[in-house]
Structure 1
Amino acid sequence: MKAKIRKLMTVVDETLNEQGRDVSPPVRRAAAIAVIANPFAGTYQEDLSELIEVGEELGGLLAERAVAALAIPGDKVESYGKAAAVGENGELEHAAAILHPKLGAPFRNVLGKGAALIPSSKKRGGLGVVLDIPLGHKDAAFVRSHFDGMEVRVTDAPRANEIVVAVAVTTGGRPLPRVGGLKVSEIKGEDGLR
């Protein structure tokens, strides 16, 4: 593996009740996180292919860990998202290199599908910086009930020369959604939008 991983972490969030109403079935969200060395920290590097390859490796590894934490088959995942934070000696472009060119394909392979774009966020921060992982339905971007997010952090990362990379998956959308839009039962899943 090209990624020099210092730490792996998995977080599961389960909502059973919202505003005094039971959520049935409960909505479960899981994030898998890797803290890795940034090989380009503190220097400008034109060719970011090393980080692109790291993103490809992490896409499958983190997706497998997140899905396993939900204890469901990959094809039962409804929403997904990804995020990265670089330490102070990194560039946002380092996070982009990991998240965009190649992380998505192995992530989708674990899920069996994923027609919609994978929502993402990037930031720079210090130890314990909060990652807001945006979430959207994996097969249809217009499903408003699944516009959501999951907040995670690693208390001792990223160090100045590290990158924190996370993917998140869910068993459903927001608890008790009621703002309209395309319903899960109406998804065609052909164009990534509807």
Structure 2
Amino acid sequence: MKAEIRKIAVFVEEVRREMDRPVRPATRKASAVAVIRNPFAGRYVEDLQDLMEIGAELGGLLGQRCVQALGIRPDQAESYGKAAMVGENGELEHAAAILHPSLGKPLREAVEKGAALVPSSKKRGGPGQVLDIPLGHKDAAYVRSHFDGMEVWLNDSPRADEIMVAVAVTDSGRPLPRVGGLRVTEIEGKDGLR
């Protein structure tokens, strides 16, 4: 494994009531976060292939951790998203190298299928700063009930020479959705849109 992981944290959020109404079944989101050493911290490097390979490693690992935390089969995952925060000695392109070329395929394998693009965000920050993970339905981008997000933060991460990489997976959409759009039961899952 190329990734030098300092720590992994897993979080599960379960909403049972919203606006004093029961949410049945409860909506659940899980995130898995890896804090890794940034091999290029503090210097410009033209070839970011090592970070792309780390992204591939982390996509599967973090996706599997989310599915396990939710206690579901991979095919029961409904939404996903990814995000990365580089410490002050990193650059945004380091986060992009981890997230974009190679992380998606192993994440899709961890949740079975995934025809839609994996929503993503990247930023620079320091210990304790919030990292937002955008969420969208894994098979159809037009499912509005699954436009959502999850926040994660670690009090000691990322340090200046680290990258915090996060994946989120859900087993449902938002609690009490009612803004229309394509329904889960109407998904074709062929083009990633519908």
TM range (shorter): over 0.9
Q: Figure out how many residues of one structure are paired with residues of the other and give that number.
A: 194
User: Which residue does the alignment assign to 2:61?
Assistant: 61
1:25-36 matched pairs, under 5 angstroms: 25-36=25-36
The one-letter code of the counterpart of 1:129 is Q
> Aligned pair 1:106/2:93, yes or no?
no
Write the deviation string for residues 102-147 of structure 1: whole angstroms up to 9, x where unpaired: 0000000111100000000000001111010000000000000000
Aligned-pair identity in percent equals 70
SS in structure 2 of the partner of residue 98 of structure 1 = helix
CA apart distance, 1:16: 0.2
Write the deviation string for residues 12-36 of structure 1: whole angstroms up to 9, x where unpaired: 0000000010000000100000000
Write the deviation string for residues 46-71 of structure 1: whole angstroms up to 9, x where unpaired: 00000000000000100111100000
SS in structure 1 of the partner of residue 36 of structure 2 = strand
The one-letter code of the counterpart of 1:191 is D
SS in structure 1 of the partner of residue 190 of structure 2 = coil
1:161-172 matched pairs, under 5 angstroms: 161-172=161-172
The one-letter code of the counterpart of 1:68 is Q
The separation in 1 between residues aligned to 2:170 and 2:124, in whole angstroms, is: 26
SS in structure 2 of the partner of residue 88 of structure 1 = coil
Structure 1 stretches lacking a partner, 5+ long: none
User: Which residue does the alignment assign to 1:193?
Assistant: 193
The separation in 2 between residues aligned to 1:129 and 1:163, in whole angstroms, is: 12
SS in structure 2 of the partner of residue 30 of structure 1 = strand
User: Which residue does the alignment assign to 2:149?
Assistant: 149
The separation in 2 between residues aligned to 1:107 and 1:15, in whole angstroms, is: 24
> Aligned pair 1:47/2:47, yes or no?
yes
The separation in 2 between residues aligned to 1:163 and 1:154, in whole angstroms, is: 12
TM-score in terms of structure 1 length: 0.99
The separation in 2 between residues aligned to 1:168 and 1:128, in whole angstroms, is: 18
User: Which residue does the alignment assign to 1:9?
Assistant: 9
SS in structure 1 of the partner of residue 51 of structure 2 = helix
Structure 2 stretches lacking a partner, 5+ long: none
The separation in 1 between residues aligned to 2:176 and 2:162, in whole angstroms, is: 38
User: Which residue does the alignment assign to 1:179?
Assistant: 179
The separation in 1 between residues aligned to 2:168 and 2:111, in whole angstroms, is: 12
Aligned-residue RMSD, C-alpha: 0.4
